[in-house]
Amino acid sequence: MLRPFPYFAHFHILRTSKFTKTLLVKKIPLEILGLSSSQSQSGSFALILGEKTGNRRLPIIIGMFEAQSIAIQIEKINPNRPLTHDLFKSFAEQVHVAVLEVLISDLKEGVFYSKIVCSDGATTFELDSRPSDAIAIGLRFGVPIFTVESVLSEAGIILSDLDENAEDSDDDEDDDDEDDDAGLGADKPAPEPREPSGQVPVDELTKMLAQAIDREDYEKAAKIRDELDKRKDS
């Protein structure tokens, strides 16, 4: 069996059933930059991927379950019961199959397509997958995430565009603040003080963390864990 040269490590071989011709397509490494609620689709989340060697961003809308699974792995939270992607990893390890990489390979009519590249030690093969599932599984195996230029050119967002939009938004907020300040009177009640998180003892936070994990409320568990980490660092 022919082995690929190291030069081809960042290229992907595309094969079709009708043609024996192979095409080498350069792969672009990506990293996860953020995960937030989608403002355009209720109940969905926006997963933001960034080009490691450039300034383009690739936003992908994913479902709530997949977002939770990705967030759990990023936050290094161990659920009491394995999620579907944890089960996939356990099964793959039992049958001695390793995941090598995740490739967001295509974009058709606004829908992303991806492949999970696997190996059993003798053969390398691909599994078709939604990007959200592929990334959730890839995170559990600690493998790189790639895409191709055609996908990034069509759906990518240049970072400078995002900065300009953010600056415009900040300017608008400043204008609104000035208008609000101009209309303030002496009769307006002062805002109620928030209870500082430092008042909650560490032991109590630890209990709250365990309870959140038991209830599988991983979003709350991540926030509590972040607060505990801040306490340790301070």
Higher pLDDT, 197 or 28: 28
| Cβ pair 2, 11 in contact under 8 A | no
Predicted local distance difference test score (pLDDT) of residue 194 = 37
Predicted local distance difference test score (pLDDT) of residue 20 = 33
Q: At CA 64, angle to CA 116 and CA 87, rounded to 5?
A: 45
Its pTM stands at 0.65
How confident is residue 197, by pLDDT bands cut at 50, 70 and 90? very low
Tell me the β-bridge partners of 214.
none
- Counting residues of the chain whose pLDDT is more than 90, the rounded percentage is 42
- Among 136, 111, 107, CA closest to 61: 111
For the chain, the distance separating the N- and C-terminal CA atoms, rounded to the nearest angstrom, is 56
Quickly list DSSP for 43-72: T-EEEEEEETTSSEEEEEEE-HHHHHHHHH
How confident is residue 193, by pLDDT bands cut at 50, 70 and 90? very low
